[in-house]
């Protein structure tokens, strides 16, 4: 689940670009812009000697050659160098920074760095902050993580902080752990520090008295609960308290709570694919009072079944839509 600022430099001298047709294959016929080391240095603000060292020692360098044998950087090469530069600028050892940069595929590099043409200040800043979170996690620096999270929550509304920074950072760290670029301890630290900051938001905003009218839970066998805390914090900011049951709540427990407390709103998170014979549907069929059920996460089917006359069943695709669905008053059934 970072980096801070980062000014975007203008393109280098167009005369130093090299346009070559790519070789045979599906990319044949396209034209790519390639860059000499001097242009990359000017564009990124990294000394040519440093670029050559990163290439020689860590493999972070140009991947193409001209007909004359001169090595040239592609746009993807430059994105990888940019990630390397962000990490090393924040004190991450070059070898570790290179391991992270090399673990990123084309799509992740695009997400991390944006593009020179379409990445406005907000998007560029978010990408830098995501890189800063990753750097602090890699360095096992809880104080830095806390500072970054707190600054993000001061400068952005919570939905923007979650969608643009926190969730992308957690995904990136998970991918880097899967690629062996960092250890599981880095992933756990980034998550746990964020848990602390989100709970601080909840404590500072939610009402003093809570009723079990709004319930948040993760589905059974679902260990992830950070999305629940993000939603609880956003609801608290709007003055709405919620009962958060956390991870791995069995469907039988959900059923018992519904039938005993009759809440008006329920949010369930699932990132793991749910079974074909999902038991929740039969539970909802027994609900006889007006209730909104919001399902979050990729584990739920794209097409939801009919939930009966009393239940409004919806699938929220992000934090903002989940909060909106929960905050919308439940209409009585006719």
Tens digit of pLDDT for each residue in 101-153? 999 888 888 877 764 433 344 555 677 788 788 878 888 889 889 988 998 99
pTM: 0.66
102: left (phi over 0), alpha (psi -120 to 50) or beta: alpha
Spatial separation of the C-alpha atoms in residues 38 and 50, rounded to whole Å: 11
- Is 9's pLDDT higher than 90? no
Task: Report strand pairing: 71-72 vs 64-65.
Answer: antiparallel
Determine the straight-line distance between the first and last CA of the chain, rounded to whole angstroms: 45
Question: How confident is the model at residue 43, as a pLDDT?
Answer: 74
Tens of pLDDT, residues 243-294: 999 999 999 999 999 999 999 999 999 999 999 899 999 999 999 999 999 9
pLDDT number for residue 17? 33
Task: Quote the pLDDT of residue 260.
Answer: 94
CA torsion 312-313-318-320 (nearest 10°) is: 10
Distance in angstroms (rounded) separating the CA atoms of residues 281 and 258: 13
Alpha-carbon distance of 267 to 316, in angstroms, equals 9
| Position 49 pLDDT exceeds 70 | yes
Instruction: State residue 180's pLDDT score.
Output: 82
Nearest to 63 by CA among 79, 48, 47, 49: 79
Q: Among residues of the chain, what percentage have pLDDT more than 90?
A: 49
Please report, for residues 184, 187, 188, 299, the alpha-carbon distance to residue 177 in angstroms, rounded to integers and kept in the order given. Answer: 6, 7, 11, 22
pLDDT digits (tens, 9 = 90+) for 139-190: 888 988 998 899 899 989 999 999 999 999 999 888 888 878 778 999 999 9
Evaluate whether 138 touches 86 at the Cβ level (below 8 Å).
no
Which of 166, 189, 185, 167 is closest to 177 using CA atoms? 185
């Amino acid at each position: 689940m970072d980096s801070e600022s980062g000014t975007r430099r203008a393109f280098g001298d167009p005369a130093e670009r090299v346009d070559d047709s790519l070789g045979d294959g599906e990319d044949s016929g396209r034209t790519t812009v390639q860059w000499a080391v001097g242009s990359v240095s000017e564009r990124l603000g990294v000394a040519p000697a440093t670029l050559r060292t990163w290439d020689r020692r860590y493999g972070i360098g140009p991947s193409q050659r001209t007909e004359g044998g001169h090595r040239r950087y592609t746009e993807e090469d430059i994105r990888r160098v940019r990630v390397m530069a962000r990490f090393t600028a924040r004190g991450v050892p070059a070898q570790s920074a290179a391991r992270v940069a090399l673990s990123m595929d084309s799509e992740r590099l695009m997400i991390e760095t944006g593009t020179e043409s379409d990445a406005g200040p907000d998007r560029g800043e978010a990408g830098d902050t995501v890189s800063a979170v990753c750097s602090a996690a890699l360095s096992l620096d809880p104080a830095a993580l806390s500072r970054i999270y707190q600054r993000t929550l001061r400068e952005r509304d919570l939905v923007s902080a979650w969608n643009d920074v926190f969730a992308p950072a957690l995904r990136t760290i998970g991918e880097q752990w899967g690629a062996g670029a960092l250890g599981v301890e880095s992933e756990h630290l980034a998550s746990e520090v964020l848990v602390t900051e989100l709970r601080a938001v909840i404590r500072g905003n939610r009402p003093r008295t809570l009723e079990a009218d709004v319930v948040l839970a993760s589905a059974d066998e679902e260990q992830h609960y950070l999305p629940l805390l993000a939603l609880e914090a956003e609801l608290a900011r709007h003055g709405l308290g919620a009962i958060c049951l956390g991870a791995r709540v069995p469907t039988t427990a959900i059923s018992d709570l519904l039938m005993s407390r009759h809440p008006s709103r329920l949010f369930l998170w699932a990132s793991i694919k749910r079974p074909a014979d999902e038991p929740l549907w039969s539970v909802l069929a027994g609900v006889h009072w007006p209730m909104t059920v919001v399902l979050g996460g990729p584990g739920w089917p794209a097409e939801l079944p009919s939930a009966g006359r009393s239940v409004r069943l919806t699938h929220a695709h992000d934090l903002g839509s989940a909060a909106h669905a929960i905050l919308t008053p439940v209409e009585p059934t006719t």
